[in-house]
């Protein structure tokens, strides 16, 4: 593999550079990386999926010839990845584009990749047509209706009250049908504009704008953002401030959040020489909902220095924020009562470079695109005090970003 990264003048907004065919993206507040083409890919399934993908990537970059003029995280060879939530079923993949464009801290670059041993050509970018808006989107129930899902939530509360577990995260899906294949770029551009503080992603047909950063590894610093505890916004600023205050005092939501933070801190501790875990969460305000949020940061120790960002993501997944507590019990409950094939929903999604640095989010506020059909996903953390009707309303609020992105 021969790789060339060159610095270029500002070519315009990243998401507007993408072609329609299999676009890849990881963008937040206008910065990040986008890619297209396929120089190589690795597909895997099962409990060993993270280890297998990590080994493949190390082999790929281990013999690569790299000319990198920029030398920032995300330059040189970069793989985009999307991984299944559970060991079975679900497929996972790492994709190495043949072209990547990046933007960070006022610098722009283009990376071109050739796996035949030839030095890639220059950094000329193709002309692409504007994104096409989806027409006549029709929505229908996914695996379960809203009423059926409320019953599943009630069963989870019963099990929690009986002492089987402390928390379980339950997901539901919604199906969207279009008369023609969806141009993925359209919802991506709307998600990025409407939710600039989220990470807008597109990897192998999985798209979304996640507010939750599972892990970032960058030159020895390891960070993670944990979200758990949610309340819907009303659009009235004064009322929303009161709701944010009630969220920050809610014993149910604080309990749910504490479980999630504890699971992430415990998973990262073996790789860090020191770690900062704030004692109290802050309220993250998004256009449709507000979340309790905690940002954790750690410094990698000698054990963590040789661990890639993907390996860290594997160590964290699934956290209590997307699985539950205790995690093994929660996962079994999900398999028994949820009635949904999550596939890659709530699994790690992101990118990794040749140094192992990278960013991996949790595939939330997302949809799986297959031609003219999409599956939209949302999930809610269920604890002893959960009310099924309220949880259904929360799931509806979490589906708003993807629905708006398809209709706006």
Q: Map out the domains of the chain as residue ranges.
A: 2-119+136-407
Q: What is the pLDDT of residue 303?
A: 56
Active-site amino acid positions: 167, 212
Q: From 3.40.190.10, 3.60.120.10, 3.40.50.740, 3.30.300.30, which CATH number describes the 2-119+136-407 domain?
A: 3.60.120.10
Q: What is the pLDDT of residue 118?
A: 78
Give the total residue count for the chain.
408
Pairwise CA distance, residues 95 & 9, whole Å: 26
Q: What is the pLDDT of residue 305?
A: 64
Q: What is the pLDDT of residue 259?
A: 84
Record the pTM.
0.93
Q: What is the pLDDT of residue 123?
A: 63
C-beta separation of 25 from 32 below 8 A: yes
Residues of the chain with pLDDT under 70: 121-123, 302-305
| Helices 388-407 + 146-161 axis angle, to 10 | 140
Q: What is the pLDDT of residue 54?
A: 97
What 6-9 contacts at long range (C-beta under 8 Å, 24+ apart), as own/partner pairs, is: 6/69, 6/70, 6/109, 6/110, 6/122, 6/123, 7/69, 7/70, 7/107, 7/108, 7/109, 8/108, 8/109, 8/110, 8/123, 9/108
DSSP state of 163: T
């Amino acid at each position: 593999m021969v790789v060339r990264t060159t610095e270029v003048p500002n070519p315009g907004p990243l998401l507007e550079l993408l072609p329609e065919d299999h676009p890849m993206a990881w963008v937040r507040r206008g910065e990040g990386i986008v890619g297209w083409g396929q120089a190589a890919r690795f597909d895997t399934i099962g409990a060993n999926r993270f280890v297998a993908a990590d080994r493949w990537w190390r082999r790929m970059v281990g013999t690569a010839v790299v000319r990198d003029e920029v030398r920032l995280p995300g330059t040189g060879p970069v793989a985009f990845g999307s991984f299944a939530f559970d060991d079975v079923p679900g497929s996972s993949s790492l994709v190495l584009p043949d072209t990547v464009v990046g933007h960070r801290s006022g610098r722009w670059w283009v990376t071109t990749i050739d796996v035949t041993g030839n030095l890639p050509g220059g950094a000329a970018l193709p002309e692409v047509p504007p994104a096409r808006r989806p027409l006549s989107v029709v929505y229908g129930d996914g695996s379960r209706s809203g009423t059926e899902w409320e019953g599943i939530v009630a069963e989870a509360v019963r099990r929690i009250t009986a002492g089987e577990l402390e928390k379980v995260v339950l997901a539901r899906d919604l199906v969207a049908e279009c008369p023609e294949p969806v141009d993925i770029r359209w919802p991506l551009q709307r998600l990025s504009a409407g939710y600039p503080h989220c990470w807008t992603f597109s990897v192998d047909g999985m798209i979304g704008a996640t507010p939750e950063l599972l892990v970032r590894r960058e030159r020895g610093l390891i960070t993670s953002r944990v979200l758990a505890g949610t309340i819907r916004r009303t659009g009235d600023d004064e009322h929303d401030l009161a709701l944010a205050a009630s969220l920050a005092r809610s014993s149910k939501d604080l309990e749910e959040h504490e479980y999630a933070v504890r699971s992430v801190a415990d998973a990262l501790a073996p790789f860090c020489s020191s770690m900062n875990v704030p004692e109290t969460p802050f309220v993250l305000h998004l256009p449709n909902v507000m979340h309790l949020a905690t940002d954790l940061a750690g410094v990698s120790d000698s054990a963590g220095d040789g661990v890639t960002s993907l390996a860290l993501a594997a160590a964290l997944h699934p956290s209590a924020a997307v699985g539950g507590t205790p995690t093994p019990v929660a996962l079994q409950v999900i398999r028994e009562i949820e009635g949904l094939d999550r596939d890659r929903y709530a699994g790690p999604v992101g990118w990794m470079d040749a140094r192992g640095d990278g960013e991996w989010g949790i595939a939330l506020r997302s949809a799986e695109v297959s031609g003219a059909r999409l599956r939209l996903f949302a999930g809610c953390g269920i604890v002893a005090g959960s009310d099924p009707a309220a949880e259904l309303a929360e799931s509806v609020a979490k589906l708003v970003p993807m629905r708006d992105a398809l209709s706006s």
